[in-house]
Chain A
Amino acid sequence: MKLRPFRTAVLGLSLLIPAALVAVVLFLVVYSGQAMQFNGLHFLTDVTWNLGDLYDDPVTVKGIQVPSGAEYGILAFIAGTLASSFLAILIAVPLAIGTAIFLAEAVPELERSARRTIPWLPPIRPVLSMLVELVAVVPSVVFGLWGIAVLIPFLGHHVSPTGNGYGLLAAAIVLALMITPIIASTLLDALSQVPKENRESAFALGSTHFEVVTKAMMPMVRATLIGGIVLALGRALGETMAVLMVSGGGINILPTSLFSPISTIASFIVSQLDSAESDPTNMSVRALSEIALVLFLITLAVNAGAKLLSSGALNVRKRN
């Protein structure tokens, strides 16, 4: 048989990523096995999280050694993750749609009229869209610092009824800032690819500019918009550092208001890992990897849902 080194190498490389994914999932499942056995379904339905007394003798429950008093319930963190991410999407989507439409439709017109008075005016739109994309690459810890230095005092002094700015709303706003450029730049790319003919024929039929955008252009980029939102949701669900700094780090408490202290799954793993490492039974670390598995499943579900939505399988709304 003829040896095909190129094909073999490319095949090997392309298998590397799925193999790594399978390895990670396998590791999480195997490593958290004992924790699953100990926790059962209470893991998902309990609000109480307690590493137990790591300085006392471990006890044996169901044949497994655990720190005395250990109790692992993550409902509060699942709630915190979903609440902050969806709230962030709620804030980010209108902002991003507005930004993208402004850049795609309003800026070129502004540019044309401005150029009549200032002929040497450099192109504005590429600069503006580059700025939007730049926001997407700002490291998350910078957003966290901004949150602590600017957002938290503002929320505390002017918005929060208790004077405490940390919590769900602060986390959602910081997340929204981080994901708005992701949605906006994806949408902007899609809008600029809408065929000129569609746009012009809509104008020719007597549509207003608003109708052209909402009826002729937005329906064509719907799938891309959903894709962008899911991409952004993925980042929001997994964001760690910025959330850790402003979320108030709630534990054993379900969010009841916009100013409730929350923890997200990702930030909670980071915050507990150091203490878990000094657990002589190692059960704390296993419980944390079980949480990681849950986060993985949530992200998977979100992505699968998005695939269905953007492929139109769940499309109930008729196209105009």
Chain B
Amino acid sequence: MTKFSKLLRTGAAVLAIAAAAGAAPRAAHAQVDVPLIESGSSLLYPLFNAWVGAYTAANPSADITTTSTGSGAGIAQAIKGLVQIGASDAYLSDTLVKKNPTVLSIPLAISSQAINYNLPGVGALNLSGPILAGIYEGKITQWNDPAIAAANPGVALPSHVIVPIHRLDGSGDTFIFTQYLSASDAGWASTLKFGTAVSWPAIAGEVGAKGNSGMLSALSNNPYGIAYIGISFSKQVAAAGLGQAALLNKSGQYVLPTTANIQAAADSVATTTPADERISIIFSEGPSNYPIVNYEYAIVDSHQPVPAYAEAIRDFLKWTVTEGNAGSFLGPVHFLPLPPAVQALSLTQINNIQ
């Protein structure tokens, strides 16, 4: 970080505290809270809104503003100190951590992703990482391709061109989808790799859509389409009559994104999650593990310019991973609570914010 931006930040913090201190006598409690800004992931945005509403009701002096910008913007703004909490579906890359060693990636909850399809006349469908990689590379172009048929014995697959639908905006969903393909398909891992935006191979009939809602309408509008959509949208996906694929996991089983299967995946990596918690729960080992599961992160600088900021961030984030992990908050967006071991790691990281 440059000296100048540090200076600016400190100046803003001092001003904010002065303003808060001036207003303090009017508050019922003597406690002084600084204004916090949360920015980033649009997937986390509804959850943060629910959290901030309940948290502010319990702590009237808290002042937290939530904004929905995108995971990349959340990461960038948290690193620059423009916001106190960056929300991201993806953790910080090694290079960003090397450049900004004080910035933490703290899991707050567990999310997942479904592979949905619009196939008139087909009920259940099994898919695997290599099949999906083939579809998005343009190598598998027909629904009755032998590779898909081999995974779906007894299913009458239509002889029709596949319409692959992907996110055109930078997205945590693209991040975890391409991580699944990289983990399960060697060809994808060596060429396209993973990221919040990848260099999608040219396919004449492909569709790029904006946001999860754009993916949903693109899939509804395109019979014979396939799309990856965040689990938060599962209700709308089911209402639109779209199918949900069972995916091949590392143990060779086809599994659906049910609560039990997502929980199984989360539990299986709980003990192997490193102290900095930068890990994906993608393609984990276990008979019922759903393969595309991820942590939702808060990106926070552990070196806050003013202690009052650190305290306010700690208090709020501690609340989110404890009381905030209750089903009443996570249920509506189909997220799952952190397993106890991961919750402990997150609390340790949160306590390091000074």
Contact = CB atoms under 8 A, between A and B. Distances in A.
Given A166-B218, A244-B168, A271-B168, A276 B210 contact: no
Interface string A46-63: 011111011111100000
B339 interface: no
A185 interface: no
Interface stretch (A31-39, A103-111, A248-256, A289-297): A248-256
Interface stretch (A156-164, A223-231, A306-314): A156-164
A238 interface: no
A263 B208 contact: yes
B199 A55 contact: no
A249 B210 contact: yes
B169 A271 contact: yes
A253 B166 CA distance: 15
Q: Is the interface of B mostly helix, strand, loop or mixed?
A: loop
A276 B76 CA distance: 10
B206 A48 contact: no
B119 to A, nearest CB: 13
Given A166-B207, A273-B170, A277-B73, A54 B195 contact: yes
Given A250-B208, A261-B206, A271-B169, A55 B197 contact: no
Interface string A219-244: 00000000000000000000000001
B335 interface: no
Nearest to A53: B193
A51 B197 CA distance: 8
A152 B222 CA distance: 9
Interface stretch (B91-99, B109-117, B250-258): B91-99
B168 to A, nearest CB: 3
A202 interface: no
B118 to A, nearest CB: 11
A251 B202 CA distance: 7
Interface string B38-72: 00000000000000000000000000000001111
A80 to B, nearest CB: 12
A271 B170 contact: yes
Interface string B86-107: 0000100111100100000000
Given A248-B208, A260-B204, A274 B169 contact: yes
Nearest to B222: A164
30 contacts: A51-B195, A51-B198, A54-B195, A55-B94, A55-B194, A56-B193, A57-B95, A71-B199, A162-B205, A244-B168, A244-B169, A245-B214, A249-B207, A249-B210, A251-B168, A251-B202, A252-B199, A252-B201, A253-B202, A260-B204, A270-B169, A271-B168, A272-B170, A275-B196, A276-B72, A277-B72, A278-B71, A278-B76, A278-B90, A280-B99
Interface of B: 69-73, 75-76, 90, 93-96, 99, 161, 163, 166, 168-171, 193-210, 214, 217-218, 221-224
Interface of A: 47-51, 53-58, 69, 71, 148-149, 152-153, 156, 162-166, 244-245, 247-253, 256, 260-261, 263, 270-278, 280-281
A-B interface, 8 closest residue pairs, ranked by CB to CB distance from nearest: A249-B208, A249-B168, A275-B170, A50-B199, A274-B170, A274-B70, A253-B202, A274-B72
Given A271-B168, A277-B70, 16 more contacts: A51-B197, A54-B196, A56-B193, A69-B193, A71-B199, A152-B221, A163-B222, A248-B207, A250-B202, A251-B199, A261-B208, A271-B208, A275-B72, A275-B196, A278-B75, A280-B96
